[in-house]
Amino acid sequence: MIRPAAALALLLAAPLLFAQAPPPRLEPLPEVPPPPPGVRDIEPDEPRVRIAPQAESVEEVREGGRVIAYKVTPSGGGTPYYLYDTTGSGNWMRRDSLDDGIRAPMWRVFTY
């Protein structure tokens, strides 16, 4: 066991251990420079969607300048499906819906 005097000293020293120095004087960040000539995408972090007129409607979703998903709607009003590149390697996986299929169990445990 810790002696009472040691415990009291530790209790009184604890706030000093967690005390912080005042933050340094902060200065505002410099203005963001304009994009180089020929660059149209000012905000590359926002996903972009492009719809190309074809026999099938293909919508591509870009994030950071890279295509991450396609939504393909077949002509004639077919059911749309999605193509995802989950690993970034160019292997596209088809998903028929955006539902991931994970369900929380909803078993009845007790009834009264």
Confidence (pTM)? 0.40
Task: Please state, rounded to an integer, the average pLDDT across all residues of the chain.
Answer: 76
Better-scored residue on pLDDT, 42 or 107? 107
At residue 51, the pLDDT reads 64
pLDDT of residue 52: 61
Strands (E), 1-112: 48-52, 57-63, 66-73, 81-84, 93-95
pLDDT tens-digit readout, 12-41: 877 776 776 777 888 888 998 887 787 665
Mean pLDDT of the 47-74 span: 76
Name the burial class of residue 72, with classes exposed (0-12), middle (13-18) and buried (19+) by CB atoms within 10 angstroms of its CB: middle
Residues 6 or more apart from 47 whose CB is under 8 A from it?
A: 61, 62, 63, 68
